[in-house]
């Protein structure tokens, strides 16, 4: 893992600050603290702002704590899962809540976490390594039918049948416990079409990560409970990175009577940001505001 203290470039940082109306001050909740980049942007934008930061990855929180030391008591970090936002805290509410649904660069770049096929490492993929099944166990234990469903629904993989069958066949002769082993089997099964710009293993890796961490279930739970944790006129900002997430956010902001959508269309990174940070290219930011009297919505 990269050394603690490095400052990472958060996606859509200025747009998040503006969307959350940080200039009004108050206490903000970053439920996906990651390396601390968005928290730094919020605290730097207003001396009246404070941030409570959550993350279910305890290792990442250690990095954030060191990176944000200069802000002292203006930031408080907690090892918590954003899916549980409706629990505890004695009903504390916030001026704004941010959820960045992307995988942290620190996680992607750490081969030991197993999120990426770009470097070989154990096939883990858990955001919180203290609980749940690693991806290697899911690949070894699930049926061909279930693996196919995961690849089809969570990865939107066109050749989901091929990928699932190839993994089941491969595991008869070897234990698929590394990212390299998994990627090799998937690439051989799926192949690379002439117009395909991404690695053939990309969608399968995405699907397994979503399944291992129950990311869509966690997002649904978060979206259902988060509005009640907002002050009046408090803002909820969500950055998603693929259509499965964005559709859920769009629907929640449209249909939830506690929320008034501020962004009619998702905010995307500028060409300049996308060139500087290629991982930001698929990011989509949506913002909504808490309304206490639904009948007054326009």
Tell me the chain's radius of gyration from C-alpha atoms. Answer: 20
DSSP 86: T
In 80-229, at which residue ranges do the beta strands (DSSP E only) sit? 94-100
Rounded CA gap, 247 and 219, in Å? 11
Stretch(es) of the chain classified as CATH 3.40.50.150: 13-106+216-296
Q: What is the pLDDT along the chain (298 residues), one digit of tens a residue?
A: 333 334 468 999 999 999 999 999 999 999 999 999 999 999 999 999 999 999 999 989 999 999 999 999 999 999 999 999 988 766 799 999 999 998 887 888 889 899 989 889 999 999 988 889 999 999 999 999 999 999 999 999 999 999 999 999 999 999 999 999 999 999 999 986 545 678 899 999 999 999 999 999 999 999 999 999 999 999 999 999 999 999 999 999 999 999 999 999 999 999 999 999 888 899 999 999 999 865 545 4
Contacts of 289 (CB under 8 A, 6+ apart): 233, 234, 235, 236, 259, 260, 262
CA dihedral (217, 239, 222, 214) in degrees, to 10, reads 20
Rounded CA gap, 83 and 92, in Å? 16
Stretch(es) of the chain classified as CATH 1.10.150.170: 116-214
Determine how many CB atoms are found less than 10 A away from the CB of residue 9: 13
Rounded CA gap, 181 and 120, in Å? 9
Q: Which two tokens stand for residue 124?
A: 């883990």
Q: Tell whether domain 13-106+216-296 is in CATH 3.30.420.40.
A: no
Rounded CA gap, 253 and 36, in Å? 26
- Domain at 116-214: CATH code: 1.10.150.170
């Amino acid at each position: 893992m990269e050394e603690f203290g490095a400052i990472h470039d958060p996606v859509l940082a200025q747009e998040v600050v503006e969307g959350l109306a940080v200039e009004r001050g108050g206490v903000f909740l970053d439920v996906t603290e990651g390396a601390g980049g968005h928290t730094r942007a919020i605290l730097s934008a207003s001396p009246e702002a404070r941030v409570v930061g959550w993350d279910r990855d305890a290792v990442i929180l250690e990095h954030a704590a060191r990176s944000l030391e200069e802000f002292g008591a203006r930031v408080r970090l907690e090892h918590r899962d954003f899916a549980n936002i409706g629990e505890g805290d004695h009903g504390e509410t916030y001026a704004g809540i941010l959820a960045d649904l992307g995988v942290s660069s620190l996680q992607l770049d750490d081969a030991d976490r197993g999120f990426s096929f770009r470097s070989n490492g154990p096939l883990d993929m858990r955001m919180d390594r203290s609980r749940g099944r690693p991806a290697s166990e899911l690949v070894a234990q699930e049926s061909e039918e279930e693996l196919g469903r995961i690849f089809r629904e969570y990865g939107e993989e066109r050749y989901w049948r091929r990928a699932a069958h190839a993994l089941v066949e491969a595991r008869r002769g070897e234990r698929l416990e590394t990212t390299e082993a998994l990627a090799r089997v998937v690439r051989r099964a799926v192949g690379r079409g002439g117009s395909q710009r991404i690695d053939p293993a990309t969608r399968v890796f995405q699907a397994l990560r979503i399944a291992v961490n129950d990311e869509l279930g966690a997002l649904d739970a978060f979206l259902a409970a988060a509005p009640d944790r907002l002050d009046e006129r408090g803002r909820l900002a969500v950055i998603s990175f693929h259509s499965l997430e964005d559709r859920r956010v769009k629907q929640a902001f449209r249909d939830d009577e506690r929320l008034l959508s501020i962004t009619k269309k998702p905010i995307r990174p500028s060409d300049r940001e996308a060139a500087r940070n290629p991982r930001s290219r698929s990011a989509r930011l949506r913002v909504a505001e808490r309304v206490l009297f639904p009948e007054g919505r326009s």
